[in-house]
A and B are shown apart, each in its own frame.
Chain A
Amino acid sequence: MRMIEFDRVSKAYHLGAGQTSLREALARQAQRLIGRRTAAHERQLFWALNEVSFQVEQGEILGIIGHNGAGKSTILKLLSRVTFPTSGRIVTRGRMAALIELGAGFHPDLSGRENIYLNGSIMGLKKREIDAQFANIVEFAGLEQFIDTPVKRYSSGMYVRLAFAVAAHVRADLILVDEVLSVGDAAFQQRCLTKMHELHRDGATIVFISHNLWSVSTFCSRALLLRAGQIQAEGHPTEVIQIYRQQDREAALSRLRDQVAEGEPFEPAHDQEGVTPVVKSELLNAEGRPEQAFGPDEALILRITYVAPQPIEAPAFVVQIQRADGVICCFIKSSANDIRHGVYGEGNVVLRIDPLQLVPDMYSIEVRLEDRRRALIYAADSGNIFHVKGYLQGAEAGGVFQPRVMWSHQSHQVDSAWHTPA
């Protein structure tokens, strides 16, 4: 059974503040009357959604991800009939509950009990339904003692717990969830997820919006990636999240490049005669061929070529690897033992990183030629980008370092019965 159908739905907003003054409106009408107003003067439109189509079947849990402003919340607002599409058609089936603005209908001066009834009826519950669920709601929120206290005396955690409890006890066929899990402590978030699983098991269809990719990947059965009001990818959450992360990284990287390009212009130190040394670097694989993608276990070889018109007596080569999200992963500086004699004329230096041991992601590499004795940079090269192949786990899950590991397991069980299935 189809629960949601979005058919080429677009939604435009007027940019700038709405008409809030009668004077403006009158002026606009007057201009229109004397024909001074042309199409160019019409206020600019912002297309929050552009020809978006998708369907949700009964029993699905659809996750919607995307950056701020991609149109995620607009979809929920359209679904919950708070706002209407500029064009296109939306069909929904069954009773809907929106876990969107938790506690929006709460009034601080009213008690928890009064707010449960008020919020419940805003969500379309009948009084007898709330009566029937009341004990469950209070128990879920864990607020038995405070139920007759005005909610303004609640902590923000208690507030959200109560709001979620009410929303979660609406017997709905279709549940819309927006970022509610980002509030409350971890234990409560876990309970919310469990509760939503329960609702899903009881037959509810769920549309879930979150920035928390982890919860989307564990909770949802399907995901949509929105970008600038359009669906960019649709499918299994893991795949969609992968695409999202990839884009995220590429965007961050191009920002990083722009920063390098536009940022403070690098002022190389001139030697006495005013002739500037030059360094260039190149990434090679173990076989010595140019390469831009490496496995975490593979070797990365960096070949640095220099041209130094004047001798540099105490040269130091500095290599810095930065991940696309700006994390500096390593900082390698050659010592007097590595580069034994001065640098003069043309030559090259090779740095072998083997194995690379970085988590799959995108990185930029910067090379500098410095003077070891003085705080002086002679030359720099920061154009190189490389990729570490593998499953993109993201910063929060993957860390920076991917060592080569080996597991072993020894067991000294006294009683082997406890873990063997009977």
Chain B
Amino acid sequence: MLTHLRELADAHELLYSWTLRDFKVRYSQSLLGAAWAILQPLSLMIVFSLIFTLFIRVPTDGVPYPVFAYTALLVWTFFANSLSMAMPSLVNNINLVSKIYFPREILPIAANLVSMIDFVIAALTLALLMMIYKIAVGWTIVFLPILLIIQVVFTLGVSLAISAINVFYRDVRFVIPLALQIWMYLSPVIYPASLVPERFQPLYFLNPMATLIESYRRVIFFNQPPDWLYLGITTVMTIAVTIVSYHYFKRAERLFADLI
């Protein structure tokens, strides 16, 4: 594991170039360019706001619905896009993977980094929205970096496993979009977690994305620290998932060139 990490550290310049390449390629020849990073969560936010404030009233504990939903959509879009981009990252670069050696995790990690750039751009819009709605943040905002780190590491862990599995079973391509859709409804993206019946909550918060999104809302809107028990469980799960995934990835890596 350590040798792998050292090798990865040696290849940081490749990671940088590859991320830059992915980012440039992603928006080259697209009319709106990086604006898509904002448009994607923004348009969903508008649709959800219409549905859940006009048609069905969803309680948001006093937070304006658009900001309430946009926060979760930001987190969710980063997660979902990272996965969707990381998943085919190895298979799409057959030529490279089967001909030249470099630490292969560069490819899914670069996919995550690109989606992180999108995330940062979209997050700036959240700041703007909050100013428009005149929402002030409290001291609990200091917990934000912890949440970000857990979120990024968790996303990376899942991405590594999915990109490797996709080399062996192309079914993953069909499974992931479906799984992401279901997963989104199982996370408090369009509704507050408080709607989940009390007795189901321990089960509900075993979903790291649910804990993360709920924690973001607490530290941003309600000036409350995260629920440390649930966040602790999520952290442990994140570390476990990432270590297992990376280990699996490096073992599977030896077979990539033979199978792709």
Instruction: Name which residue of chain B comes closest to A108, CB basis.
Output: B25
> C-beta contact mask, A47-77 vs B, less than 8 Å → 1, else 0?
0000000000000000000000000000001
Does any Cβ of A come within 8 Å of B56's Cβ? no
A126 CA / B170 CA spacing, docked (Å): 35
Chain A 363-402 near chain B by CB (<8 Å), digits 1 or 0: 0000000000000000000000000000000000000000
**A18/B99 in contact, CB under 8 A:** no
B97 proximity list for chain A (CB < 8 A): 82
Query: Contacting chain B: which of A20-28, A204-212, A346-354?
Result: A20-28
B13 within 8 A of A: yes
A122 and B95 contacting across the interface, CB-CB below 8 Å: no
Known: A19-B169, A20-B170, A110-B25. A105 touches B13 (CB 8 A): no
Contact residues in B for A25 (Cβ distance below 8 Å): 168-169
Residues of the A chain whose Cβ atoms lie less than 8 Å from the Cβ of B14? 121-122, 124
CB distance from A70 to the nearest CB of B (A): 18
Within A106-125, the residues touching B (CB, 8 Å) are 107, 109-110, 114, 117-118, 121-124
B147 CB-CB contact with A under 8 Å: no
Contact of A23 with B171 at beta-carbon distance under 8 Å, contacts A82-B100, A124-B102 already known:
yes
Q: Does B198 contact A (CB under 8 A)?
A: no
Q: Is the CB of B96 within 8 A of A18?
A: no
8 Å CB contact of A122 from B24, B102, B259: B102
Residues of A within 8 A of B24 (CB): 109-110, 114
Q: A101 on the interface (CB 8 Å rule)?
A: yes
On whether the beta carbons of B96 and A105 are closer than 8 Å, the reply is: yes
Residues of chain A lying within 8 A (CB to CB) of residue B28: 109
- CB contacts under 8 Å to B, within A3-30, are 13-14, 18-23, 25
- Which DSSP category, helix, strand, loop or mixed, fits chain A's interface? loop
User: Do residues A118 and B17 form an inter-chain contact, with CB atoms below 8 A?
Assistant: yes
Select which of B11, B13, B17, B100 is within 8 A of A101 by beta carbon. B100
Task: Give B23 Cβ to nearest chain A Cβ, in Å.
Answer: 11
Nearest-Cβ distance from residue B92 to partner chain A, whole angstroms: 11
Q: Give chain A residues whose Cβ lies under 8 Å from the Cβ of B18.
A: 118, 121-122
Range of interface residues on A (Cβ < 8 Å): 20 to 34
Q: Report the interface size class on chain B.
A: 20 to 34
Name the residue on A nearest B168 (C-beta).
A19
- Chain B residues 189 to 242 lying within 8 A of chain A, measured CB to CB, are none
Contact of B96 among A81, A84, A117, A122 (CB under 8 A): A122
Contact indicator B95/A83 (Cβ below 8 Å): no
Q: Say yes or no: is B29 at the interface (Cβ < 8 Å to chain A).
A: yes
Please, which residues of chain B bring their CB within 8 A of the CB of A14? 258
Given A13-B258, A83-B258, A109-B25, are A121 and B99 neighbors across the interface (CB < 8 Å)? no
- Tell which of A18, A77, A110 touches B259, judged by Cβ atoms closer than 8 Å: A18
Asked whether any CB of chain B lies closer than 8 Å to the CB of A104, the reply is yes
CA distance A101 to B13 in the complex (A): 21
Which B residues are CB-close (under 8 A) to A22? 169, 171-172
B40 interface contact, C-beta 8 A? no
Residue A246, interface by CB 8 Å = no
- In the complex, which residues of chain B have a beta carbon less than 8 angstroms from the beta carbon of A114? 20-21, 24
Docked complex: A241-277 residues within 8 A CB-CB of B: none
Question: In this complex, which of B16, B25, B102 has the most chain A Cβ atoms within 10 angstroms of its Cβ?
Answer: B102
A127 to B172, CA, bound (A): 36
- Asked, given contacts A20-B170, A25-B169, whether A82 binds B257 with beta carbons under 8 Å apart, the answer is yes
Check if B55 is an interface residue, CB within 8 A of chain A: no
Return chain A residues, CB-CB under 8 Å to B25. 107, 109-110
Contact of B169 among A21, A84, A110, A122 (CB under 8 A): A21
Interface residues of A (CB under 8 A from B): 13-14, 18-23, 25, 77, 80-84, 98, 100-101, 104-105, 107, 109-110, 114, 117-118, 121-124, 126-127
For this complex, 21 residue pairs linking A to B, each with C-beta atoms less than 8 Å apart, are A18-B168, A18-B258, A20-B170, A22-B169, A23-B171, A77-B257, A80-B99, A80-B100, A80-B101, A81-B101, A82-B98, A82-B99, A107-B21, A109-B29, A110-B24, A121-B13, A121-B16, A121-B17, A122-B14, A122-B102, A126-B13
